[in-house]
Structure 1
Amino acid sequence: MGVRSLTRAEAEERAELLEVERYDVSVDFTDLPDGPDVRCVSTITFSCTEPGGETFVDCAATVLSATLNDVPLPPAAEGRIALRGLAAHNTLRVETVQSDTTHGPGVHRAVDPSDGEVYVWTSFEPDEARFVWACFDQPDLKAPHAFTVTAPAGWTVTSNAGTARTETLGGARRWTFPDTPPLSPYNTVVNAGPFHEIRRNAGGYDLGLYTRRSLAGALERDADEILTLTAQGLAFFARVFAMPFPQHRYDQVFVPEFGGAMENYGCVTWSDDFLRRSAPTPAERELLAKVLLHEMAHMWFGNIVTMRWWDDLWLNEAFAEFACHWAATSATAHTDAWAGHLAGGKLKAYLADQGPATHPIRQPVHDVDEAAAIFDDITYPKGASVLQQLMTYLGEEAFSAGMSDYFARHAWGTTTLQDLVDALGRASGRDLDAWKTGWLDTAGTDRLTLDHGPGGAVLHATGPSGAPPRPQVLAVGAYRRTATGLERTARTTVEVRGPRTPVDLPAGADLYLVNDDDLTFATVRPDAASRDALLRYAADLPTALSRGVAVATVWDMLVNGEATAAEAARGIGAVLEAETCDAAVEPYLTLAGDIAELWAPEGRRVALEAEFAATCRRLADRARHPAGRRVALRSLARAASGGALERLRAEAVEDDDYDLRWRALARAAELGEDTAAEAARLLAADPDPDAHLQELRVRAGVPDARVKAAVWQALAIERAVPVSWVGRVAAAFWRPGQDEVLRPFTRRYLDLVPGLGRGGMIPAMVYTGRLLPRFAIDGGFLDEALAVAGTAAPVVRKTLTEHADVTRRMLRSRGTVEPDAV
């Protein structure tokens, strides 16, 4: 039998019945240097409001023994152990072993291929702690956790509660950690391995960084920057939330084969892919800063105050995504963070919010399996943008005061959306019911247009499906042409309360920009007279945000079939030539490369790729600094051919840039060159401990059925590629112009779909979305994939629905499906 998903009704019933006093969890990692087993003893003390009642404890690991008040319990079934005849006060002891530490959820054993060292990490959101030890795995049953960890003597162990007491036990060491504050099970963590450690005191905190030994050099290179950002973030959030982070120690652990980052209280776990093997680009540095601040914001929003159930997931993820941009622009060197957000995540959110998988930011969640399906571009970038609009709507001072009130009232407890709305309403004096209904309980995107008539300018706003627009505050800018570009001559703030809003703007401007400064979440359309001006003048706008709003409009026109790939490529290419915001250049290059490769009709693809390559070369040749040149050359590797590719390969060797050498080699392999010998030499020379993944990416692009089959086996069947690398290898596998070789693998993808949910939420999302074919398919294939997904896990169905919609839009732009098929 499978493992049952906890329902909301079950969670509410259990929360009424129980109060968890504490967890004492003993963890044994001593088998892991050579074996797979993690052994645990979870001792839970809890009270029961109805003595004699019954419930269950979550436990999906193999149970070796279980007793309730010293009475043996029956075997677990469907990931649960029945608890009957509860006393007023109870002690539950469950001994478990988890042996699936390679592909199973909750805990992972990774082996560094460069030196054979073993590292182990845990990650539990939304309900994966139960796969490692017994617990009441729901957010609102918070309790202190005391971890005792036995690990090999040469290992270091990290956990939530800071400094541990250690003792030597022969060839092992026991780490006894202090009690945590009251935490939900998903916010706890234990990591272990022979880590390289850096510690520093800053801003009154003891800050720690950890990584595997083979990446010590990369961590040492970036440590000053990471620690500076950490101190800046802790100071910023302490100020705007009127609550300092309450623990002296704050650790960040970079581990192999991890997806993204996780906000465990006081001990954030990161994918060590964030420790770049070559010097980070501006966009990579900004991403690291935003992820660091996102996870830090969770210390308050998610850990100190926790949502009661997963229908208020947005309270956690959307807020942290908003807060990381707020902190970055206010307290760090990344003052253009909102421009980077618009150039990357927000464009994805606009696309997702107009597709079949859209959903309200807040929605009913029947069980935790459904919750796992809403960690997406609606929850994260749309949620962040909606909260930015809320702060604009209320004013930053009132917003900060409301958040401070919220944390003061609910620290170490659990809340609902209404608790947050009430706090913000009290601080601002505004009734937020209409705002809440429009923005949080309604799916879809508003549309804004500006008309100029004899009576002046009028802003027209419509909500999703033609409904009235949401209440919002935005800006409209008027621009005139000068010898050096466009100059803003007026900016008007508009509060939208209905479909028509008069706007006080001077007549005769060369361009009117709706949603100037990107203050709201809404798509914009120029009127017929302004369409050509927008495409022609977007690059001349004076700020990163104003150019970003123009790019967002052009992109949205492309994905909705209102602009061709050639028009979009020209508009975005012109912006790239003019862009001065380093962190925006890289996402725009990705966007422009995607348009040429994925959205262009077959008859135009080669020409658009050549135009894109020429843009990249010009950017590289006139770059203001080495990082800018590196970004342009990396993008050039995606589209270069002939002499341009040969020049690029020579430059990569001259610059001693291993990453660029691999990218250029992958392009050569895709174009049919025999690259095996050069790849073998490069693999032997590259000091990156994960260079074998670069070599796999080169092989993935080879247009040969046997080579493709071997890569597919490693990537999709054996899952021998870390989740952080799946997208890169898959993108090299599905290449344009290789349809005949690729077509058999489209059927193999369909065979995988029903089982793509295995391994937990993150792998399910990554494998479902990244492996989906982009070439050698038609609309019928996408229909078949969606039908096959009908029996898959909710997260697989949701992810496939979203990615299939984007792919169908690509096919429409290429001219291979009818316009009304989207």
Structure 2
Amino acid sequence: FGDLVTMRWFADLWLNESFASYMAVLSQVGATRWKEGWTTFAVNEKGWAYRQDQLPSTHPIVADVPDAESIHLNFDGITYAKGASVLRQLVAWVGLDAFLEGVRAYMREHAYGNATLDDFLRALEETSGRDLHSWSKEWLESAGVNTLRSEQSLSDDGSAFESFAVLQEAPPDWPTLRSHRLAVGLYDEGPGGKLVRRKRIELDVVGMRTEVPDLPGEAAAPLTLINDDDLTYGKIRLDPRSLSTVVERLRDIADPLPRAICWTACWDMTRDAEMTTRDYVRLALGNAEAEDRVGIVQTTLAQAAMAIHAYGDPSNRRALSASLAAESLEALRRTQAGSDHQLAWARTFVAAAGTPEQLALVRGLLDGIESFDGLVVDPDLRWHIVRSLAAAGHADASLIEAERANDPTDRGQRQAGAALASRSTPEAKEEAWRRILAGEGALAVIEDVMFGFQQLDQDELLAPFAARFFDDLADVWATQNLQEAIAFGRYMYPHRIVSAHTIELTERYLTSPDIPGPLRRLLEEGKDGIARALRARAADAASA
């Protein structure tokens, strides 16, 4: 994909990248012992796609690429992850055999040449017998992600469904209601206290409301899962009964893919202010330790930390952070020695540690006077500890320089720059800002300084730099190369300063008609992130 057959122009970049992403997982699941590829895909790649597709800069998979400069910003979650997700839905729509036969025909006809979307659709239409042009209009040529939720009524005693329908919504800016091939699964108590699928119904969902005729009269279940098997691309909303089950018992779902779907749905509900940060953190801390897919554990713990600092009511931050640190430490002590899960909990504890006792334990790990059976404090973990201590005000420049001397590699140089920028002092932030504007070092080095600069719990320290970002932005864009300027716009935007003032500063800057297109896109994305966080915080505070 991309070598044997190459797209004619970058508008069809997805014909390279989406296919490669999709076929990589399909091949992994079909030809190796790693059979849980779609589980990882559901959490990581689709999570990326959902985030990207809800930004104001979203675009159709078949992108509008008017010039070469615009190419850089379309190597994104739409072209890669959403495109691969939509290909999975296409396979559900036409069938795997017809899909593969069509792809083979497409490759044979256009080998060592260039092709377009129409060429691809024509090959699949011939093998599947389906008209795919309307499908393409819905899925490839329009942007945005649909939301799918259930409308259900139960018998008086709550034991059976009387009616069940799938409702579909679309965002106002991209009001396309798509045709979805999906499954609805009912999960009940099974052997060993596990939640197992009792019934699966596959159907086409079209328009705003689709009845599910096989469910009336069926016994109700603790968990009803729309998009079971993760066939379609859409945000899933859990009904109140299912959400309660998931928060309390997600760990009891026997199969990893429905667990992944539930993890993703809950995170998306948190970002959309439909699930409180407190509930999400309770879900994470109550269920992640039992999750056997380490990638899900890593993602969930990182999201819990982000929810606490970005989406939760600030008045709850200290208590939730303390819970995250305490529970992570206990999980670290209980988890299998030497496992990747142990390392995930260790990294979470190190980043969340806040009490004097916890910080002393973290420093002891660095100095070798504290240990956990099986936990190897290798250079990567050492730098994670140094950065975390620096952000908490417990590592000065001399400690960081000593660690740099112990690790005279490129990684050591870059991590030292990040750690120095992480320090919780005005002087450290000023020096990091100066280095970034001066471009001292290669782009990868400066990006690590940027990553260190914006720490989760340094709001007051970072607040003065919100206005300075906009003051320096035009000069950066005028004097630095495109990749450096994009990095500054993406990573130094004041993401941590969640306030109406940050939105006001952004909107004021955006009134200029002379802003380059890539920069305008980055600023719109940054503003959208602040607005999302403000909505989530308001909902979290209102639910207290």
Q: Above 0.5 in TM-score?
A: yes
- The structure 2 residue matched to 1:650, chosen from 352, 359, 364, is 364
Give the Cα separation in 2 of the matches to 1:810 and 1:391. 36
The structural deviation recorded for 1:345 is 3.1
**Residue in 2 that maps onto 1:224:** none
The one of 738, 745, 749 aligned to 2:465: 745
Structure 1 stretch displaced more, 748-757 or 685-694: 748-757
Structure 2 residue aligned with 1:553: 265
Residue equivalent to 2:227: 515
Aligned match of 1:813: 536
2:531 corresponds to 1:788:
no
Does the Cα contact within 8 Å between 2:273 and 2:540 map onto a contact in 1? no
| 2:325 counterpart SS class | helix
Instruction: Give the secondary-structure state (helix, strand or coil) at the position aligned to 1:535.
Output: helix
Q: How does 1:571-610 map to 2 (within 5 A)?
A: 571-610=283-322
**Cα distance change on mapping 1:352 and 1:618 into 2, 3 Å:** same
How much has 1:674 moved relative to structure 2? Answer: 4.5
Give RMSD over aligned pairs.
Answer: 2.7
Partner of 2:178: 470
Is contact 1:547-1:575 (8 Å) kept? no
Q: Which residue of 2 aligns with 1:194?
A: none
Q: 2:210 is matched with which residue?
A: 500
SS in 1 for 2:168: strand
The separation in 2 between residues aligned to 1:457 and 1:685, in whole angstroms, is: 63
Going from structure 1 to structure 2, the CA distance change for 1:405 and 1:475 (only over 3 Å counts) comes to same
Which letter maps to 2:531? R
2:403 is the counterpart of 1:696:
no
Query: How far off its partner does 1:736 sit?
Result: 4.2
CA-to-aligned-CA distance 1:446-466 (integer Å, 9 cap, x gap): 221223336443222344449
Greater percentage in helix: 2
1:770 aligns with 2:494: no
* Paired residues of 1:561 and 1:813 also in contact (CA < 8 A): yes
Does residue 193 of structure 2 align to residue 484 of structure 1?
yes
Q: CA deviation at 1:759?
A: 6.3
Residue 74 of structure 2: SS of its match in structure 1? coil
Specify the SS of the correspondent of 2:187: strand
Work out the CA distance in 2 between the residues paired with 1:817 and 1:715: 35
| Conserved? CA contact 2:387–2:419, under 8 Å | yes
2: CA distance, partners of 1:730 / 1:756: 16
Contact 2:443 2:484 in 1 (8 A): no
SS at match of 1:517: helix
**3-state secondary structure, aligned to 1:507:** coil
Q: CA, structure 1 residues 327+723, in 2 after alignment: closer, same or farther (shift >3 Å)? A: farther
Distance 2:232 2:478 in 1: 35
Match of 1:385 in 2: 85
One-letter amino acid of the structure 1 residue matched with residue 274 of structure 2: E
1:529 is displaced (CA, Å) by: 4.3
Alignment of 1:149-160 (within 5 A): none
Cα displacement (A) at 1:777 = 5.1
Asked whether the 8 Å contact 1:705–1:741 carries over to 2, the reply is: yes
**Distance apart, 1:640 and its partner CA:** 0.9
Instruction: Kindly name which structure, 1 or 2, has the bigger radius of gyration based on alpha carbons.
Output: 1
Q: Could you give the per-residue CA deviations for residues 262-285 of structure 1, whole angstroms, max 9, x where no partner exists?
A: xxxxxxxxxxxxxxxxxxxxxxxx
Give 1:637's aligned residue: 350
Aligned to 1:443: 143
Q: CA deviation at 1:443?
A: 1.4
Q: 1:778: how far off? A: 2.1
Distance 1:719 1:516 in 2: 50
| Separation (CA, whole Å) in 2 of partners of 1:816 and 1:449 | 20
For 2:119, the equivalent position in structure 1 comes to: 419
**Per-residue Cα deviation, 1:121-157 (whole angstroms, up to 9, x for no partner):** xxxxxxxxxxxxxxxxxxxxxxxxxxxxxxxxxxxxx
Which among 213, 229, 236 is matched to residue 524 of structure 1?
Answer: 236
* Secondary structure at 2:98 match in 1: helix
Structure 2 residue runs of 5 or longer lacking an equivalent are 154-160
Report the counterpart of residue 158 of structure 2 in structure 1. Answer: none
Matching residue's letter, 1:807? I
Question: Does the CA contact (< 8 Å) of 1:457 and 1:503 recur in 2?
Answer: yes
TM-score (normalised: structure 1): 0.59
Note if 1:398 corresponds to 2:106. Answer: no
Decide which moves more: 530-539 or 700-709.
530-539
| Cα deviation 1:309-367 (Å, max 9, x = unaligned) | 22222222222222222223223444323222222232232233233222221233322
The structure whose RCO (Cα within 8 Å, separation 6+) is larger is: 2
Q: Which residue number in structure 1 is paired with residue 156 of structure 2?
A: none
The reply on whether 1:683 has 2:395 as its aligned counterpart is: no
Report if aligned partners of 1:373, 1:796 keep a CA contact under 8 Å in 2. Answer: no
Q: Deviations over 1:672-719 (max 9, x none)?
A: 224222222222122543202222222112222222111122234315
Alignment of 1:616-635 (within 5 A): 616-624=328-336, 625-635=338-348
User: How many angstroms does 1:721 deviate by?
Assistant: 5.2
Task: Give the distance between the partners of 2:314 and 2:170, measured in 1 at CA.
Answer: 36
How far did 1:415 drift?
1.4
**Per-residue deviation, 1:437:** 0.8
CA distance in 2, matches of 1:467, 1:777: 29
CA distance in 2, matches of 1:521, 1:757: 40
**What is the rounded CA distance, in whole Å, between the counterparts of 2:445 and 2:109 in structure 1?**
39
Q: 1:325 to 1:724 in 2, by over 3 A?
A: farther
> Is 2:527 the counterpart of 1:804?
yes
Name the SS of the counterpart of 2:410 in structure 1. coil
What pairs up with 1:38-49 in 2 under 5 angstroms?
none
* 2-structure distance, mates of 1:390, 1:469: 16
The amino acid that maps onto 1:350 is Y
Deviation at 1:520, TM superposition (A): 0.9
Residue correspondence of structure 1 range 223-242 to structure 2 within 5 A: none
Bigger mean CA deviation after superposition, 462-471 or 795-804: 462-471
| CA drift at 1:510 | 1.3
Shift of 1:421: 0.7
Aligned equivalent of 2:245, options 514, 518, 533: 533
Q: Which has the higher strand share?
A: 1
CA distance 1:724–1:336, change in 2 (3 Å): farther
Range with greater deviation from structure 2 (712-721 or 628-637): 712-721
Question: Which SS does the other structure have where 1:431 is aligned?
Answer: coil
User: Residue by residue, what CA displacement relative to the aligned partner does 1:741-764 show, whole Å, maximum 9, x if unpaired?
Assistant: 322322232134334487666545
Q: Which moved more, 1:632-641 or 1:615-624?
A: 615-624
Identity, in percent, stands at 30
Distance 1:337 1:366, change over 3 A: same
Contact 1:523/1:553 (8 A) holds in 2: yes
Q: Distance in 2 between matches of 1:507 and 1:439?
A: 35
Q: Residue 461 of structure 1 aligns to which amino acid in structure 2?
A: Q
- Asked if structure 2 preserves the Cα contact closer than 8 Å seen for 1:753 and 1:792, the reply is no
The one-letter amino acid of 1:460's match is L
Whole-angstrom CA distance in 2 between matches of 1:757 and 1:375: 23
The one-letter code sitting in structure 2 at the alignment partner of 1:714 is R
The answer to whether the 8 A contact 1:494-1:503 is kept is: no
Report if the CA contact (8 A) 1:370-1:795 is conserved: yes
Contact preservation (8 Å) 1:743, 1:777: no
Q: How many angstroms apart in 2 are the aligned matches of 1:377 and 1:321? A: 11
Give the CA deviation at 1:770: 1.6
2:453 to 720, 733, 755: 733
Kindly tell me: are residues 397 and 649 of structure 1, through their superposed partners in 2, closer, same or farther at Cα, counting changes over 3 Å? farther
- Amino acid paired to 2:38: W
Is the aligned partner of 1:459 residue 2:182?
Answer: no
